[in-house]
Amino acid sequence: MKKTVLGELEELVLLVVASSLEEVYGVPVMEQLREQIGRDFTISAVQTTLYRLEEKGFLSSSVSGATAERGGRRKHLFALTAAGGQALLDIQQMRNRLWQSIPQNKLQQLGLSTHSL
């Protein structure tokens, strides 16, 4: 099976959805990104990313009932799929291999401690 490469925002959004206990929609994902990594993304960038991850098979979605708080609009809720979970595991393993390939003394020469990384 062909590996799908994820962009940075795709990986971050997938991680946020994976860490959620329930299905989530765009606004809470955007808020978690701001809280967890300290970067702001527009809601349209987050929603586009959610739909793109669904097209790739990494997320599934459903539509909630209309609510008064949203002016009668329904929420598009997203959840992690098995393929999305596998993609995250693959990324984690790849990153771990890359981290392990860095010579220990190289970071020390730069005044960096692996304990702080």
Residue pLDDT tens, the chain, 117 long: 456 679 999 999 999 999 999 999 999 999 999 999 999 999 999 999 999 999 999 999 999 776 666 566 788 999 999 999 999 999 999 999 998 998 888 888 888 876 655
What pLDDT sits at residue 110?
A: 85
Instruction: Specify the CATH number for the domain of residue 52.
Output: 1.10.10.10
If one counts the domains in the chain, the total is 1
Residue 101 lies in a domain: yes
Residue 21 lies in a domain: yes
Q: Which domain holds residue 95?
A: 8-109
Amino acid at 22: E
Which SS3 state, helix, strand or coil, does residue 78 take? strand
What pLDDT sits at residue 1?
A: 46
Residue 3 lies in a domain: no
What pLDDT sits at residue 49?
A: 97
What pLDDT sits at residue 66?
A: 64
Determine if the pTM surpasses 0.85. Answer: no
